[in-house]
Amino acid sequence: MSDLKTPLNKAQIEILKLFSRPMSEEDLQEIKTLLVKHLAEKLTQRVDNISKEKGYTQEDFNSWLNEPNQ
């Protein structure tokens, strides 16, 4: 096993503690789903805040998505 180059952060340590107990595949999948949902919500909030700050509209996003060099 390779040595860790960087120490674990608090979140990683807590997750390791959580997963140190036996759990079913169903429990594991539910935890993964919760984490992804949480991170998606945080990202959505951040994008919303930046959009408001910069004055971006849905039309701006649609325009960027339809640019030929995308």
Whether 64 contacts 70, CB under 8 Å: yes
Question: Average pLDDT in the 18-29 region?
Answer: 90
Structure confidence at residue 41 (pLDDT): 98
Residue percentage of the chain with pLDDT more than 70: 93
- Rounded to the nearest integer, the mean pLDDT of the chain is 89
Residue ranges per domain, the chain?
22-65
| Residue 70 DSSP symbol | -
Q: What are phi and psi of 22, to 5 degrees?
A: -65, 140
Structure confidence at residue 19 (pLDDT): 83
Structure confidence at residue 3 (pLDDT): 66
Question: Average pLDDT in the 17-39 region?
Answer: 92
Structure confidence at residue 18 (pLDDT): 82
